[in-house]
Amino acid sequence: MEQRSVLWSDLRWPELKELATPETIVIVPVASIEQHGPHLPVITDTMLAREVAKCAAEIVIEKTPVLVTECIWTGLSEHHMMIGGTFTLDFTTFLAVIRGVVQSLQRQGFERVFLMNAHGGNIAALQTVVEELTREFGMRLVTATYWTLGARALGAHLERQKGIRHACEAETSMMMAIAPDLVDPGRFDEAACPDPRDEADVDMDGSYRWISFADKTPSGALGDPRVSSADKGRLLLDTAARSVAAKLLDPTFWPGDRQRAEV
Ligand SMILES: [Zn+2]
């Protein structure tokens, strides 16, 4: 049967039932709704997650069946709460939401699930979620953040940043490519705020402490949207989708039987 769409939500139950095999890859985008500076909408991470996941799946489907579920937009964003426009879950609830989604997939016959993250605040939590749920369900479960899979290739398109920051040159460019009406270039000057990681001499020591975004940047953005463009955004989205697709098609990306048994 020809697969009509990579999007789970577009399909009907008999189509999804036919696709429910241990070989089908299911991409579950995980993002957030949180403040993105004065110039970008709060849906930014969720829109970018949907776009990268869909474009990656349209590459993967040439080789293997793949589906993209709706994006889980309820992420962990305590560090943005003080600025406004933000929802956050606590970790226990976040785990419970993803557990319900993953368990639903397993009960229908799916075994390969990629939790494709698009929000910095979810990174550490998703690693723990994958450990917990692999032990519980024994599925082939992987998580990664889309911009770390293609970090070097994405960085090559950026002028003032080494990687994807927040409401920055990269995120603003990608939003200009897919939803220009939601971007306000009149507020780019106000938003611009360098990320210390992009300053030449800053050496991070790897320690961790919780810090509100309000203490890092007055505008809520980290990075410089003034050098954003829709063309750059299209390049970044294409690079991200290709990087994700290449990983999903690499057999070593997925845990084998032995790794699963050893968890
Ligand atoms: Zn985010």
- Superfamily of domain covering 8-254: Creatininase (3.40.50.10310)
Whole-number Å distance, alpha carbon 146 to ligand 1 midpoint, is 12
* Dist. CA 255–CA 57, nearest whole Å: 20
Is a pLDDT exceeding 70 seen at residue 224? yes
User: 112 near 250, Cβ under 8 Å?
Assistant: no
* Dist. CA 117–CA 86, nearest whole Å: 17
* Dist. CA 25–CA 6, nearest whole Å: 10
Output the CA–CA distances (angstroms, integers) from residue 73 to 106, 169, 244, in the order listed. Answer: 21, 22, 20
**Which pLDDT value is given to residue 197?**
82
Confidence of residue 195 (pLDDT cuts 50, 70, 90): confident
- pLDDT (tens digit, 9 = 90+) per residue, 86-111? 999 999 999 999 999 999 999 999 99
E-strand ranges in 122-209 read: 140-145
The one-character DSSP state at 80 is G
Whole-number Å distance, alpha carbon 98 to ligand 1 midpoint, is 18
What is the pLDDT averaged over residues 1-24?
95
Whole-number Å distance, alpha carbon 30 to ligand 1 midpoint, is 10
Whole-number Å distance, alpha carbon 118 to ligand 1 midpoint, is 7
**Which pLDDT value is given to residue 62?**
96
Whole-number Å distance, alpha carbon 42 to ligand 1 midpoint, is 9
Q: Which of 4-18, 108-122, 245-259 has the least mean pLDDT?
A: 245-259
Whole-number Å distance, alpha carbon 6 to ligand 1 midpoint, is 24
Confidence of residue 258 (pLDDT cuts 50, 70, 90): low
